[in-house]
Chains A and B, each alone.
Chain A
């Protein structure tokens, strides 16, 4: 049942990140919320790979049933892509701050006043 508990905690984490993503007005806070939600998705995949009393899916590593290797491979992909996209979106936040002098998303969405 550890897998189910971890999966429910992962869903709670994703909900927390989603709440931050929706309710915060600051762009960097939104990115942090997205990162927390992606952490939830990673934890969910790890929980799906879990089996009771499992060992790592490596040949010759202890007795017992092995954990599912496929979700673990997906986690490997997810972590790297999250890192890369977070870095890229932070660059865009720097652009926005440089041009508009604010990180407040409702204010950024309003059309710019003409000079």
Chain B
């Protein structure tokens, strides 16, 4: 059995390697400056993600929201841990440092989301960075206290509101043919919001039902 599995994995790897050898060297890419500018962007990846492949991005955001809904509803049936307060003694140093750093993280993620169509960045990295900032706060304060401050129903409303706004933006771009910088910036901001809230949902649910931070 082990040998069969090894031979199968090696055969798949060999076939993939053979196919890859035919793929290289890669040819020149087609002209991309014009279409990128036509979508109102300077970053070609942003023009693809929020322009020519917008359906893809919309469905991806829907899949993300559905997975986070699954996490939320699945965890609801599991018993909650009695307490997820941090076991280590709280030091003012950690709390103060987290309070200072969260501002920097927030501003940086906003910058990445707002300038994602002009340079490196975009909504998804911005959301991931904001989620990591929330993780930092949860480490400093304990996830319970942070969850009380971040009132869950508002977050839920914001998440589904962000999805609705993204669908509306997609309709405006795809059906009405709206172009320009404003839809790109708005889409990046709302994608960042969606991703950050989803990351917080995963973090909070896993902490409050299993294990401690």
Contacts and interface: CB of A to CB of B under 8 A. Distances in A.
B74 A11 contact: no
Given A7-B23, A8-B20, A88 B71 contact: yes
Contacts of B6: 19
A99 B16 CA distance: 39
Interface in B102-157: 118-120, 122, 124
A57 B44 contact: yes
Nearest to B191: A80
A77 B56 contact: yes
B45 A72 contact: yes
B52 to A, nearest CB: 9
Given A18-B12, A19-B9, A84-B63, A48 B78 contact: no
B43 interface: yes
Contact of A23 (B5, B17, B71, B75): B5
Contacts of B5: 19, 22-23
Interface string B163-182: 00000000000000000000
B136 to A, nearest CB: 18
Contact of B16 (A14, A50, A88): A14
Contacts of A48: 23, 26
Contact of A58 (B29, B44, B210): B44
Given A4-B24, A22-B9, A80 B124 contact: yes
Contacts of B20: 4, 7-8, 11, 44
Given A3-B24, A84-B67, A77 B57 contact: yes
A105 to B, nearest CB: 14
Nearest to A78: B60
B35 to A, nearest CB: 10
B45 A15 contact: no
A8 B20 CA distance: 8
Nearest to A12: B13
B74 A91 contact: yes
Contacts of B13: 11-12, 14-15
Nearest to B118: A58
Contacts of A61: 119
A79 B29 CA distance: 24
Given A7-B24, A77-B57, A91-B75, A66 B44 contact: yes
A88 B67 contact: yes
A59 B33 contact: yes
13 contacts: A1-B24, A7-B23, A52-B25, A56-B120, A59-B37, A59-B43, A69-B44, A77-B49, A80-B64, A84-B64, A88-B67, A94-B78, A94-B210
Pick the 4 closest A-B CB pairs, nearest first. Answer: A84-B67, A69-B44, A57-B44, A15-B13
Interface of B: 2, 5-6, 8-10, 12-13, 16-17, 20-21, 23-26, 28-29, 32-33, 36-37, 42-45, 47-49, 53, 56-57, 60, 63-64, 67-68, 70-71, 74-75, 78, 118-120, 122, 124, 195, 198-199, 202, 205-206, 209-210
